[in-house]
Amino acid sequence: MRSLVIDDESVALFKMVTMLEPFGQCDAATTSHKALDLFCRALEEACPYALVTIDINLPDISGIKLLGRLQEEEERRNAPRARKLMVTAESTKSNVLAAASGRCDGFLAKPVRRAVLSEKLVHLGLLAAR
């Protein structure tokens, strides 16, 4: 499984990458612009991401807006759809509703725990149940 982790907090980024690396290649970005570049390059190389985790609060554009841009790129290129999980330390009702209306596939509250992440990946069909 190829994954892209997007988070501007270095500790959270490192933790998520560490949890996902055992399942396959995992790339990381600390800004929306870098993430969009990596995402588009993966589509151009016909090696798309299966999973993208997106922090809601990013420094350049919001994670919700980035979610929409990633989906637009997939649609524009008629590419397979990556599973997208929104991640935030602020698991407020408004953040959950914004993520859901953005057509994300799930929501994770920080600090993300390995068991919760694994359960979410199984639910999304990205991992086999153990």
Q: Report the C-alpha gap between 85 and 44 in whole angstroms.
A: 22
Give the mean pLDDT of 71-81. Answer: 95
* Angle separating helix axes 10-20 and 114-123, nearest 10 degrees: 60
**Per the domain annotation, does 87 fall within a domain?**
yes
Coil, strand, or helix at residue 53? strand
Is the pLDDT at 71 greater than 90? The verdict is yes
Question: 26-52 pLDDT, tens per residue?
Answer: 999 999 999 999 999 999 999 999 999
Closest CA to 67 of 88, 79, 52: 52
Question: 90-126 pLDDT, tens per residue?
Answer: 766 665 666 666 678 988 988 999 999 999 999 999 9
* Angle separating helix axes 63-76 and 93-101, nearest 10 degrees: 10
CATH code of the domain in which 115 resides:
3.40.50.2300
**Per the domain annotation, does 113 fall within a domain?**
yes
**Per the domain annotation, does 129 fall within a domain?**
no
**Per the domain annotation, does 119 fall within a domain?**
yes
Asked if 27 contacts 39 with a C-beta cutoff of 8 angstroms, the reply is no
Higher pLDDT, 88 or 83: 83
* Angle separating helix axes 63-76 and 32-44, nearest 10 degrees: 20
**Per the domain annotation, does 37 fall within a domain?**
yes
**Per the domain annotation, does 130 fall within a domain?**
no
**Per the domain annotation, does 128 fall within a domain?**
no
Q: Per-residue confidence at 88, pLDDT binned at 50, 70, 90?
A: confident
> Degrees (nearest 5) of the Cα angle 17, 20, 21?
80
Q: What is the pTM of this model?
A: 0.92
Instruction: List phi, psi (to 5°) of 113.
Output: -100, 145
Q: Which domain holds residue 79?
A: 3-123
Q: How many domains does the chain have?
A: 1
